[in-house]
């Protein structure tokens, strides 16, 4: 039993460290890539006149792009417009931009969950190691 607990603790700690390093790298990667685009939310966004850096400003920018696209198309979405309507191009651009921004939000969330699971794995490894001392 002691050997199993020690082996499990080492494996859990190694996996946890890999997850923490990977999660931290992914957070940094996302932040750097979002920052280099130098996006600033417009004055009418939920978070106005702010540099887009984190998930909340990414969501605010995606939301205001959709709002502006709806205003530009008279409230119609891509599917509601006829094929000949030149305003469909607005939706193509808006969809591309909002998708990229939303992927940034998902990247932040995935990175945070990876960090969390890494920390849980490390804690589990420490717990297994402590239990091995009792056997």
Cα 12 to Cα 119: distance, rounded to the nearest angstrom: 10
- Tell me how far apart the 2 most distant CA atoms of the chain are, in Å: 76
Return mean pLDDT, the chain.
96
CB atoms within 10 A of CB 90: 19
Supply the pTM of this predicted model: 0.86
How much is the pLDDT for 134? Answer: 84
Break the chain into its structural domains and give their ranges: 2-132
- Length in residues, the chain: 135
pLDDT digits (tens, 9 = 90+) for 107-118: 999 999 999 999
When pLDDT is cut at 50, 70 and 90, the band that residue 1 belongs to is confident
């Amino acid at each position: 039993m002691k050997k199993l607990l020690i082996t499990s603790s080492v494996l859990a700690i190694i996996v946890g460290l890999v997850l923490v390093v990977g999660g931290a790298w992914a957070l940094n990667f996302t932040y750097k890539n979002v920052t280099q685009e130098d996006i600033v939310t417009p004055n009418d966004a939920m978070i106005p006149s702010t540099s887009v850096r984190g998930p909340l400003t990414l969501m605010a920018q995606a939301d205001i792009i959709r709002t502006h696209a709806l205003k530009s198309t008279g409230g119609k979405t891509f599917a509601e417009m006829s094929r000949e309507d030149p305003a469909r191009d607005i939706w193509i651009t808006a969809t591309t931009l909002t998708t990229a921004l939303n992927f940034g939000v998902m990247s932040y969330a995935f990175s945070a969950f990876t960090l969390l699971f890494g920390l849980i794995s490390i804690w589990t490894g420490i717990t297994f190691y402590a239990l091995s001392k009792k056997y």
